[in-house]
Structure 1
Amino acid sequence: MSPNVGSQPTSILWRQVWGLAALLAAIAFSLMMCLTQQPQTLQDLGFNRLVYILGLAQGGASVVLEPLIGVCSDYLARRTGHRFSLMTVGLVLTLLATLAIALGLAWVGRASTQPLAEAATTVSAAPWLIPSLLSFWLFAIMLLRVPAIALMVQFAPQRSLPLITTWLIAVVSLVGAVVPLIQPALHTGNAIVCFAIGAICVLMGAGCLFASRPRSGIFPVVEHMTTVSPGVGWAILGLGIGAGIEATTLVQAFPIALQIELPNIRADYMMSSLLLIGAIAAFPIHRTTRRYSEKRMMFLALAGIPTLMGMVLMTTDYRLAIASMPLFGSALALLFITQIPYVFTQLPFSRAGLCSGLYFGGLRAGTAVASVFSVYVSGIDLTSELLLAAVGFLFSSICLFHIQPSSPPPSA
Structure 2
Amino acid sequence: MSRQPRKLTQPAILWLQVWGLAALQGAITLTWIVYNLYLPQLLVQFGYSKQLAVGLLIVENALAIVMEPLMGGLSDRTQRWLGTRFPLIAVGVVLSSALFIAIPAVVVFGQQADVTRTVLLVVLVSWALAMTVFRSPAISLLARYAKPTQLPLAASLLTLVAGVIGAFKPVASQFILSLGAVLTFSIGSLVLLATAAVLRWLNSHLETPEATVERTVAQPLSISALGLIFSTGVSLTWGTRSFMGMLPEMLTTQLDMANVDWLMVGIAIALAFAALPAGEWAVEVGNRKAMLIGIGVTVGLLQAIVFIPTWLTLGAAVVGVIAGLSVVSNSAIPFALMLVPHQQAGWGTGMYFGGVAAAVSLFGLVFPAANPIAPVAGAVGGAISFSVAAACIAASFQVRSTSDADLTRD
- When normalised by structure 1's length, the TM-score is 0.85
**Correspondences of 1:107-146 after superposition (within 5 Å):** 107=109, 126-146=116-136
Residue 106 of structure 1 and its aligned partner are, at CA, apart by 0.9
Q: Which residue of structure 2 aligns with residue 161 of structure 1?
A: 151
Q: Residue in 2 aligned with 1:203?
A: 193
Which deviates more from structure 2 when the two are superposed, residues 148-157 or residues 207-216?
207-216
The 2-side partners of 1:353 and 1:385 are apart by 32
Partner AA of 1:165 in structure 2: A
Structure 2 match to 1:3? none
Aligned to 2:64: 62
Whole-angstrom distance in 1 between the partners of 2:156 and 2:51: 39
In structure 1, what is the Cα distance between the partners aligned to 2:263 and 2:44? 26
**1:363-409 alpha-carbon deviations (Å, 9 max, x no partner):** 13223332442226975322232233134224323432332434552
Task: Using the TM superposition, name which of 151-160 and 302-311 deviates more.
Answer: 302-311
CA-CA distance at 1:319 after TM superposition: 4.2
Q: Which residue of 2 aligns with 1:14?
A: 15
Q: CA deviation at 1:14?
A: 1.9
Say yes or no: does 1:37 pair with 2:35: no
Deviations 1:283-321 (A, max 9, x none): 332343344353332223334434333222224433433
CA RMSD of aligned residues (A): 2.8
Residue aligning to 1:340 = 333
Residues 208-231 of structure 1, C-alpha deviation per residue, up to 9 Å, x if partnerless? 212212257434433232111212
SS in 2 for 1:166: helix
Q: Name the residue aligned to 2:6.
A: none
Equivalent residue for 2:249, pick from 229, 254, 257: 257
Spell out the pairing of 1:280-295 with structure 2 (5 A cutoff).
280-295=273-288
Residue 403 of structure 1: SS of its match in structure 2?
A: helix
Counterpart code for 2:267: L
Aligned with 2:142 (options 152, 165, 168): 152
Q: Matched residues in 1 for 2:238 and 2:295: separation?
A: 11
More displaced stretch, 367-376 vs 55-64:
367-376
1:119 is aligned to none
1:242 aligns with 2:243: no
User: Which 5+ residue runs of structure 1 have no aligned equivalent?
Assistant: 1-7, 113-121
Shift of 1:148: 1.0
Determine if contact 1:244/1:365 at 8 Å carries over to the other structure.
no
Identify unmatched segments of 5+ residues in structure 2: 1-8, 406-410
Overall identity of the aligned pairs, in %: 23
* Cα distance change of structure 1 residues 216 and 379 upon mapping to structure 2, 3 Å threshold: closer
CA displacement at 1:84 relative to structure 2: 0.9
Separation of aligned partners in 1, 2:186 and 2:250: 32
Listed one character per residue, the Cα deviations across residues 82-141 of structure 1 (whole Å, up to 9, x for unaligned) are 1111111011111111122021111356xx9xxxxxxxxx7xx73433333222112222
**Structure 1 residue identity aligned to 2:275:** A
> Are residues 289 and 161 of structure 1, via their aligned partners in 2, closer, same or farther at CA, if it must alter by over 3 Å?
closer
Q: Which moved more, 1:161-170 or 1:320-329?
A: 320-329
**2:26 corresponding residue in structure 1:** 25
Aligned residues: 391
- Counterpart-to-counterpart distance in 2, 1:396 and 1:145: 23
In the TM superposition, 1:274-285 aligns within 5 A as 274-285=267-278
Among candidates 303, 306, 310, match of residue 303 of structure 2: 310
Distance 1:87 1:276, change over 3 A: same
Amino acid at match of 1:353: G
The residue number in structure 1 matching 2:172 is 182
Match of 2:97 among 95, 98, 101: 95
TM-score of the two chains, using structure 2 as the length reference? 0.85
Contact 2:152 2:280 in 1 (8 A): no
User: Are the equivalent residues in 2 in contact too, given 1:374–1:385 (CA < 8 A)?
Assistant: no
In the alignment, is the contact (CA less than 8 A) between 2:41 and 2:50 conserved in 1? no
Shift of 1:39: 4.0
Question: In the alignment, is the contact (CA less than 8 A) between 1:242 and 1:395 conserved in 2?
Answer: yes
Corresponding residue of 2:3: none
- Segment drifting more, 72-81 vs 154-163: 154-163
Q: Which one-letter code corresponds to 2:136 in the other structure?
A: V
Quick check: 1:255–1:267 contact (8 Å CA) kept in 2?
no
Cα distance in structure 2, aligned partners of 1:134 and 1:23: 21
Distance, in Å, in 1 between the alignment partners of 2:389 and 2:37 is 25
Give the distance between the partners of 1:191 and 1:158, measured in 2 at CA. 42
Q: Any idea what SS the aligned residue of 1:380 has?
A: coil
Alpha-carbon distance change, 395 to 195 in structure 1, aligned in 2, over 3 angstroms: farther
Task: Indicate whether 1:392 and 2:385 are aligned.
Answer: yes
Residues 32-61 of structure 1: CA distance to partner in whole angstroms, max 9, x if unpaired? 332243345435643345333222222221
